[in-house]
């Protein structure tokens, strides 16, 4: 059963990542209306006839989401059943299903009724939470297959609440990034690292202010992660799990910022946009795990 759970967990976690990246492609190519205002059917059909490029992109996204959704349900239910004496496993499994349903429902409502950019930006955030909970559940399965308990960390309040603040801060940065995309503000700041050739743009309005706020928040998050990594390196380097995960998160954030710069400098190249979402998803998964690890007492 443990081997089956590991395989299902890997498929579910990788699958949700593919769903996220497919969603990025849908948004980037303007394929959100590729199936018309119909859901779950596409142009009123189960298999669309004479599909356009946008229809293929949107239909593929829906198909992958449906297949992955089934795998997620099977994995989470089995994991909760096998490790039912661990309340944290049940909580994370329930959260994974909740966020999957939430992001799917929001996506369906956007297709049928349309949504504002502010609401659509939440869709990416919920997708990220869905990935993070599945990633955590996968790690729990691997932990519990070797030991009958999850690792417990005894950390200072500054590390515990520092990790929690990073989690909240990261989600804000993610939301602002999604808002940049859904408001068409990706080129609100021409050039990088300067914005329209200025450190502080003279015209802070419209698309420019949205893009500029995202950049400022990302830079602030990098500084906050730098402080957290310094704190962990100084006081908890002996804790290999915390230390190496923190170092990995920091460099994933650096990679995410660099990919964001490439997005601008390449005039919104699709591959750069995909990697931009990929790096932040990985980092957010690790960070979510560390938050639960830091607050675990038994």
In angstroms, how far is CA 284 from the centroid of its own chain? Answer: 6
Dist CA 144 CA 133 (whole Å): 16
Q: Is 50 a catalytic residue?
A: no
Helix axes 206-235, 157-182, angle to 10 degrees: 160
The catalytic position among 50, 54, 58, 88 is 58
In angstroms, how far is CA 171 from the centroid of its own chain? Answer: 9
Geometric angle at alpha carbon 87, from 82 and 89, rounded to 5° = 55
Under a CB-based contact definition with an 8 Å cutoff, are residues 144 and 9 in contact? no
Dist CA 10 CA 188 (whole Å): 38
Specify which residues 42 forms β-bridges with: 45
What are the structure tokens assigned to 215, written together? 């950049």
Q: DSSP 3-state assignment of 195?
A: strand
Q: DSSP 3-state assignment of 100?
A: helix
- The closest of 2, 12, 229 to 100, measured between CA atoms, is 12
Under a CB-based contact definition with an 8 Å cutoff, are residues 250 and 229 in contact? yes
Q: Which residue has the tokens 């009724």?
A: 113
Cis peptide before 40 (omega within 30 of 0): yes
Q: Which residues are catalytic?
A: 58
């Amino acid at each position: 059963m443990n081997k089956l759970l590991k395989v299902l967990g890997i498929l579910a976690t990788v699958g949700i990542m593919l769903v996220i990246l497919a969603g990025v492609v849908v948004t980037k190519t303007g394929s959100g209306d590729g199936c018309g205002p119909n859901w779950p059917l596409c142009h009123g059909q189960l298999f669309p006839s004479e599909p356009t490029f946008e229809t293929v992109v949107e239909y593929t996204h829906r198909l992958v989401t449906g297949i992955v959704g089934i795998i997620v349900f099977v994995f989470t239910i089995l994991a909760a059943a096998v490790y039912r004496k661990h309340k944290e496993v049940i909580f994370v499994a329930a959260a994974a299903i909740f966020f999957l349903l939430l992001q799917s429902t929001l996506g369906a409502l956007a297709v049928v009724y349309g949504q504002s950019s502010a609401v659509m930006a939440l869709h990416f955030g919920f997708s990220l939470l869905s990935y993070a909970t599945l990633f955590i559940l996968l790690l729990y399965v691997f932990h519990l297959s070797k030991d009958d308990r999850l690792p417990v960390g005894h950390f200072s309040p500054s590390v515990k609440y520092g990790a929690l603040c990073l989690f909240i801060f990261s989600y804000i940065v993610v939301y602002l990034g999604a808002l940049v995309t859904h408001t068409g503000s990706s080129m609100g700041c021409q050039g990088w690292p300067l914005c329209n050739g200025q450190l502080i743009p003279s015209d802070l309005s419209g698309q420019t202010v949205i893009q500029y706020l995202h950049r400022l928040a990302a830079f602030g998050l990098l500084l906050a992660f730098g402080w957290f990594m310094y704190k962990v390196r100084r006081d908890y380097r002996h804790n290999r799990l915390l230390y190496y995960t923190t170092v990995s998160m920091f460099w994933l954030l650096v990679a995410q910022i660099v990919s964001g710069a490439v997005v601008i400098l390449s005039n919104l190249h699709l591959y750069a946009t995909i990697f931009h979402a990929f790096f932040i998803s990985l980092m957010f998964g690790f960070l979510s795990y560390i938050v639960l690890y830091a607050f675990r007492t038994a």
